[in-house]
């Protein structure tokens, strides 16, 4: 697992002590390093009744390959906004987002959609599964959207469903599954294309303690097995404890905990 930190100047540094790399410019987004993603100078505001509400203020954030990061803190500080920008579901007002050296917000909409489909997986508190389809079909869906053959898509989805313990639920409609099972389907769907980055927004927020603990363990195991980078927004101190790195937002800026 890479060990990347963001220093007080918004530069990416390697090592828990924050020691700089050779030279004084930090790690370069396009360099052959363990750096997966770098958000630089991200600013985001929303218009409120009393004027603009600043959420992220020239925010910088560095992610290493294979990291497990928890974004924690009170509601309303910008955690989900950060996650949506990292996943390119939302655009910042200004700033750059480098993924393996490329500024993805300079992509065309078509190229950005293809990047998101291929490289980023999403798991949300509300599963956003398609009730008219089976468990297997839900997990196949990202591959089918990409134009992959149904047989090949099923061949990739089935092993993941087995890995998350749902091999006996392949033909079930998802509304016949328990909440914990539905979240496992959502997790398998997010990982079916083996994305480099998995973003999870309160993934256990609607689950009881037992199911929450199982999802916590599963996320950690899959991070290790698949080598993906995991960023999860959570209020759960138990889930945060599974992560090797914990950060929060304060006045629109990232703070390492």
Give the residue among 23, 40, 34, 125 at the shortest CA–CA distance from 86: 40
pLDDT digits (tens, 9 = 90+) for 166-194: 999 999 999 899 888 898 899 999 999 89
Give the pLDDT band of residue 13 (cuts 50, 70, 90).
low
Residue 19 reports pLDDT greater than 50: no
Distance CA 70, CA 242 (A): 9
Please provide residue 150's backbone torsions phi and psi, each rounded to the nearest 5 degrees.
-60, -40
Residue 200's DSSP bridge partners are 123, 232
pLDDT of 141 above 70: yes
The strand pair at 102-103 and 120-124 is best described as unpaired
Q: Which of 8-12, 136-140, 160-164, 197-201 has the lowest average pLDDT?
A: 8-12
For the chain, the straight-line distance linking the first and the last C-alpha, in angstroms and rounded, comes to: 19
Which of 107, 130, 134, 127 minimizes the C-alpha distance to 119? 107
Q: Give the pTM.
A: 0.83
pLDDT of 26 > 60? The answer is no
Instruction: Give the per-residue pLDDT at 105.
Output: 94
pLDDT at 65 over 80: yes
Residue 31 has pLDDT above 60, yes or no: no
CA 67 – CA 227 distance, rounded (Å): 8
Q: What are the angstrom distances between the C-alpha of 118 and each of 74, 122, 223, 242? A: 31, 11, 17, 26
Look at residue 217 in the predicted model and tell me its pLDDT.
85
pLDDT value, residue 22 = 37
Q: pLDDT confidence of 23, banded at 50, 70, 90?
A: very low
DSSP, collapsed to helix, strand or coil, labels residue 203 as: coil
pLDDT digits (tens, 9 = 90+) for 149-158: 999 999 999 9
Between these two residues, 59 and 23, which has the higher pLDDT value? 59
Tell me the CA distances in angstroms from 107 to 91, 111, 220, one per residue in order: 12, 6, 31
Task: Give the model's pLDDT for residue 1.
Answer: 54
At residue 33 the predicted structure's pLDDT band, cuts being 50, 70 and 90, is: low
Pairwise CA distance, residues 214 & 49, whole Å: 42
Mean pLDDT of the chain: 84
- The average pLDDT across 43-51 equals 83
Per-residue pLDDT, averaged over 69-74, amounts to 88
Share of the chain above pLDDT 70, in %: 87
pLDDT at 191: 92
| Distance of alpha carbon 107 from alpha carbon 225, whole angstroms | 30
What's residue 17's pLDDT? Answer: 42
Any long-range contacts for 169-174 (C-beta under 8 Å, 24+ apart)?
A: 169/135, 170/134, 170/135, 170/136, 171/134, 171/135, 171/136, 172/134, 172/135, 173/131, 173/132, 173/133, 173/134, 173/135, 174/127, 174/129, 174/130, 174/131, 174/133, 174/134, 174/135, 174/138
Is residue 10 predicted with pLDDT exceeding 70?
no
pLDDT above 90 for 111: yes
pLDDT at 85 over 90: yes
Report which listed range, 23-37, 178-192, 208-222, is most confident: 178-192
């Amino acid at each position: 697992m890479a060990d990347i930190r963001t220093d007080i100047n918004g530069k990416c540094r390697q090592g828990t002590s924050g020691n700089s790399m050779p030279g004084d410019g930090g790690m370069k987004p396009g360099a052959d390093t363990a750096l997966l993603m770098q958000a630089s100078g991200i600013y985001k505001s929303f218009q409120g009744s009393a004027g603009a509400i600043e959420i992220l203020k020239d925010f910088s954030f560095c992610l290493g390959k294979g990291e497990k990061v928890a974004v924690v803190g009170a509601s309303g500080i910008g955690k989900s906004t950060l996650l949506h920008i990292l996943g390119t579901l939302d655009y910042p007002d200004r700033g750059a987002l480098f993924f393996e050296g490329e500024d993805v917000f300079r992509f065309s909409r078509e190229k950005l959609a293809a990047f998101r489909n291929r490289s980023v997986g999403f798991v949300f508190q509300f599963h956003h599964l398609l009730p008219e389809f089976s468990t297997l079909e839900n997990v196949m869906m990202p591959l089918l959207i990409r134009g992959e053959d149904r047989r090949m898509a099923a061949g990739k989805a089935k092993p993941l469903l087995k890995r998350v313990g749902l091999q006996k639920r392949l033909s079930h409609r998802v509304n016949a599954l328990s909440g914990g099972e539905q979240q496992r389907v959502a997790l398998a769907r997010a990982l079916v294309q083996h994305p480099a980055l998995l973003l999870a927004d309160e993934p256990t927020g609607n689950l009881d303690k037992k199911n929450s603990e199982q999802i916590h363990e599963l996320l950690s195991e899959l991070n290790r097995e698949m080598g993906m980078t995991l960023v999860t927004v959570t209020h759960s101190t138990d889930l945060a404890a599974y992560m090797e790195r914990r950060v929060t937002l304060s006045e629109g800026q990232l703070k390492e905990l």
